[in-house]
Amino acid sequence: MLVLEAGGARAELAPERGGMVTRLAVGGAPVLYLDEATFAEPGKNVRGGIPVLFPIAGKIDPDRLPGASAPMKQHGFARNRPWRVVAAGPDRAVLGLDADAATRAEYPHEFALRYTYTVGARGLKLEQRFENHGAAPMPIQPGLHPYFLVADKAGARVATDATTAWDNVAGARVALGPIDLTAAEVDLHLLDHHARTTRLTRPGAPPVVLDWSDDQRVLVVWTLAGRDFVCVEPWSAPANSLVTGGALLVAPGAAHESWLAINLG
């Protein structure tokens, strides 16, 4: 585990568990939800923290990319791979993940990821760098999957200017009305959320403000009944974009950079 601290904020990172942030607290108050049982079991996807979604967010159909010899699971492989510590200091750490034989079987591209985590007085900034070390253009559809701790979902709100969404539960495009976060499952992909920011209001706790780079074009809201979390996830493109088109393309020898800031309002 890596611990980063600045002012009244503290973040914990787990390089071996997908390079993810597991905990974030500001002024001693927890910001993120973490299911300890899934974190303790290496064979399970961690439900909580901030999982890294690469090279895809969501699922692909079919489940195998052209040129791949193995299928790709939902949200890609980065969240299940051990990352290495490139640099670490009191309030900042850089983690890296590079292509190898196992990743090439699912995703036939020569990539290098460098994620920089920096803690500030009110929260955390995640800077993502996607390098293409191959000879062909590299399509990517990355995202981040923050689980925010929300005890009272009946009074919680996610601010959005979106009017349409893909409802992944219903399997249909829908007009977006008020989001009922108390439903059995909410899995909404907000397709026209134009602002590069949102605010998660949490009754009894400080609101969380998310800001992100212009390349993140879809906002996903996901939660399950009986669980004290609401996920608010900036994605770079809709699910399946590596197959249907619309994914980001990184030219050979080039890099693409993104960022997400999470602060208490």
* Mean pLDDT in residue range 189-201: 97
Rg of the chain on CA atoms, in Å: 18
In b/e form, how buried is each residue of 15-54, taking b as 16+ CB within 10 angstroms?
bebbbbbbbbbbeeeebbbbbeeebeeeeebbbbbbbbbb
Average pLDDT over the chain reads: 97
Tell me the domains of the chain and their CATH numbers: 2-149+229-264 (2.70.98.10)
Kindly report, residue by residue over 64-106, the tens digit of the pLDDT. Answer: 999 999 999 999 999 999 999 999 999 999 999 999 999 999 9
Token representation of residue 95: 């983690």
The C-alpha atoms of residue 14 and residue 50 are separated, in whole angstroms, by 10
Cα dist. 254→130, 139, 141, 163 in Å? 9, 12, 16, 35
**Percentage of the residues of the chain whose pLDDT score is greater than 90:** 98
* The pTM of the whole model exceeds 0.75: yes
* Mean pLDDT in residue range 224-241: 97
Kindly report, residue by residue over 2-24, the tens digit of the pLDDT. Answer: 999 999 999 999 999 999 999 99
Q: Identify the sign of the CA torsion 151, 156, 158, 164.
A: positive
Kindly report, residue by residue over 100-125, the tens digit of the pLDDT. Answer: 999 999 999 999 999 999 999 999 99
The per-residue pLDDT for 74 is 97
The C-alpha atoms of residue 19 and residue 42 are separated, in whole angstroms, by 13
Token representation of residue 248: 């980001």
pLDDT at 43 over 90: no
